A and B are shown apart, each in its own frame.
Chain A
Amino acid sequence: MADASPRTDISTDAETDEMNQRFDSGKSIVVAPSDSSDRSKSNLDQKILRRLAQNREAARKSRLRKKAYVQQLESSRLKLTQLEQELQRARQQGIFISSTGDQSHSIGGNGAMTFDVEYSRWLEEKNRQINELRTAVNSHAGDAELRIIVDGVMAHYDEIFRLKSNIAKADVFHLLSGMWKTPAERCFLWLGGFRSSELLKLLVNRLEPLTEQQLVGIGNLQQSSQQAEDALSQGMEALQQSLAETLSTGSLGSSGSSGNVANYMGQMAMAMGKLGTLEGFICQADNLRQQTLQRMHRILTTRQSARALLAIHDHFSRLRALSSLWLARPRE
């Protein structure tokens, strides 16, 4: 009797097969003399046949279960390596990851983590767009094609500013901390992002040839963004000073009197009000960045804009690469 069970690669059930074969051969030895059609003998045969069939069935089921289990293990292993890679990537970006996964940061933490995930997705899309742009520029694509890709990149920038304004309402300190950026980028952090005036300084040399009018335009833009940055910085400093003063007024000595408690509460209420205005500063800083990028795009030709966007991206990606090197540096 041929074994009808499906073939498996992981068949270490050869012994089961062998046992079945032995039974088969045993059965043939037993069957032959049953020509005498002895009742008890044929009952025994039935039992043996049934037992054999059950054995085969059980062996088949066991093989199937084992196969399913191994498949499950393999897919889990794949998932594990994927998670490890993500973790490694996140660690490189300097994001704090607790190994026990404690959720001590309640509302603010969730918003921050969501933003970080959204930001990394935004970066991936940006990389894709920039590669497309680079290919187009290197292959001397026409203006029409370039314009489509450049417009796409500019629209993509609008997206990050929208994401940032959303998180600014919930957790302005996460943006201000720059923890969503890599360490080297954090060096240059200004009010939760990059400094437009610095970016323009980097670009001017890379964009030649510029017409006289364009040079003047870019120069004015650089000056305007510098002035706006200074104004916002000074407003921030005044806010910080005022916050420090609010928290330091009032007597430190005598404690417990109701007047002091009321004082303390009043100070805290004032300080809370002041902290609330930070969101406005981040918003204006981001508005400045967005307006500067758009103005730059308007002054330049399509081809120049393409080169500018590539240069900007290269600058940040080098900072990110520097951060990776820094984080992987050998330490004593």
Chain B
Amino acid sequence: MQSQTPPELSLLTYLPVPSFFSSQLLLLLISCINLLVVMDKVRDLASKKAAVIFTKSSCYMCYSIKTLFYELGASPAIHELDHDPNGRDMERALRGLGCDPSVPAVFIGGRFVGSAKDVISLHVDGSLKQMLKDAKAIWF
């Protein structure tokens, strides 16, 4: 977890800063870019495997969803946000996608599926298994 100033802020020392407001705008611009970059990273990770789950090691609902996937025969890629240096930003990005709570965040075939509630509803429906089959995460 980063505790020092993020690298973006240190850029400011190299730029001429005429007024307080323009520095605020600059900060806003930089954090927007940051968010986009992180969202890109999240999507990139999400498309690397047929089933991807973003979790936190302290989240037990995440444990349940992982268990469900294993039970179905899928081997999802697990990314623990609390062990990722960009974890906080990634969490923000996931929330931006509409994931509430932010973990577990499930992606199948690179597409955002939802949090625990969505996954369970889809499983009861029979849709989850179909999605996994379509994405070739499971075969039967």
Question: Hey, which bits of chain A sit against chain B, CB under 8 A?
Answer: 220-221, 224-225, 227-228, 230-232, 234-236, 238-239, 242, 273-274, 277, 280-281, 283-284, 287-288, 291-292, 295
User: Interface segment, B2-10, B76-84, B117-125?
Assistant: B117-125
B: residues with CB less than 8 A from A are: 58-61, 63-65, 67-68, 71-72, 101, 116-117, 120-121, 123-126, 129
A235 touching B64 in the complex, CB below 8 Å, given contacts A227-B71, A228-B120: yes
State in angstroms the CA–CA spacing of A274 and B68 once bound together: 21
Complex Cα gap A266–B99 (Å): 29
Q: In the complex, are the beta carbons of B60 and A238 less than 8 A apart?
A: yes
Q: Name the distance in Å between B15's Cβ and chain A's nearest Cβ.
A: 41
**Given A230-B67, A235-B60, A236-B60: A288 and B124 within 8 A (CB)?**
yes
A231–B125 touching, CB < 8 Å: no
Apart from the given pairs A238-B63, A281-B61, 11 other A-B contacts in the complex at a CB distance below 8 Å: A224-B123, A224-B129, A227-B68, A227-B71, A235-B60, A235-B64, A238-B60, A277-B60, A280-B116, A284-B64, A287-B121
| With known contacts A227-B71, A295-B125, A288–B61 Cβ distance under 8 A | no
Contacts A230-B67, A234-B67, A287-B117; A242 near B60 (Cβ below 8 A) = yes
Assess whether A235 is in contact with B126, with CB atoms less than 8 Å apart: no
**A228-B117 contact in complex given A234-B63, A277-B60, C-beta closer than 8 Å:** no
Nearest neighbor of B128 in chain A, beta-carbon distance:
A224
Chain B residues with CB below 8 A from A292, complex form: 124
Q: How long is the Cα–Cα vector from A7 to B126 in the complex, in angstroms?
A: 78
Q: Are A230 and B61 in contact (CB under 8 A)?
A: no
- Which of B59, B60, B72 counts the most A-chain CB atoms under 10 A from its CB? B60
CA distance in complex: A288, B65 (Å): 13
A284 to B60, CA, bound (A): 12
Question: What residues of chain B lie closer than 8 Å to A281, measured between beta carbons?
Answer: 60-61, 64
Q: Which residue of A lies closest to B71 (CB)?
A: A227
Give Cα A273–Cα B120 distance, bound, in whole angstroms. Answer: 24
User: Nearest Cβ in chain B — how far from A297, in angstroms?
Assistant: 12
Q: Which of A221, A231, A242, A274 has the most CB of B within 10 A?
A: A231
Contact yes or no, A232 B64, CB < 8 A: yes
Q: Once bound together, how far apart are the Cα atoms of A281 and B63, in whole Å?
A: 11
Q: Are B61 and A280 in contact (CB under 8 A)?
A: yes
Q: Compute how far the CA of A56 lies from the CA of B63 in the bound complex, rounded to whole angstroms.
A: 87
Q: Which of chain A's residues have a CB closer than 8 A to the CB of B123?
A: 224, 227-228
Q: A274 contacts which chain B residues (CB < 8 A)?
A: 60
Q: A288 contacts which chain B residues (CB < 8 A)?
A: 120, 124
A242 contacts which chain B residues (CB < 8 A)? 60
Contact of A231 among B58, B59, B68, B124 (CB under 8 A): B68
Q: Which residues of B lie under 8 Å from residue A232 when comparing CB positions?
A: 64
Is A224 in contact with B126, judged by CB distance below 8 angstroms?
Answer: yes
B55 to chain A, nearest CB (A): 12
For the complex formed, measure the closest distance between the CB of B127 and the CB atoms of chain A, giving whole angstroms: 10
Query: Given A288-B124, A291-B124, A291-B125, A231 and B67 touching (CB < 8 A)?
Result: yes
Whether B124 lies near A221 (C-beta < 8 A) is yes
Give the residue name and chain of the B residue nearest to A293 (CB).
B124
- Across the two chains, which residue of chain A brings its CB closest to B61? A280
Establish whether residues B61 and A235, one from each chain, have CB atoms under 8 Å apart when the complex forms. yes
Q: How far is the CB of B41 from chain A (nearest CB, A)?
A: 27
A295 to B124 Cα, complex, angstroms: 7
Please judge, given known A-B contacts A224-B124, A277-B60, whether A231 and B117 are in contact too, CB under 8 Å: no
Q: Report chain A residues within 8 Å CB of B60.
A: 235-236, 238-239, 242, 274, 277, 281
Beyond A220-B126, A224-B126, A238-B60, whether A231 also contacts B121 by CB under 8 A is no
A214 CB to nearest chain B CB (Å): 13
The answer for the CA separation of A273 and B123 in the assembled complex, in Å, is: 28
A5 to chain B, nearest CB (A): 75
The 15 listed contacts between A and B (C-beta, < 8 Å) are A221-B124, A221-B126, A227-B68, A228-B68, A231-B64, A231-B67, A231-B71, A234-B67, A235-B67, A236-B60, A274-B60, A277-B59, A284-B116, A287-B120, A291-B125
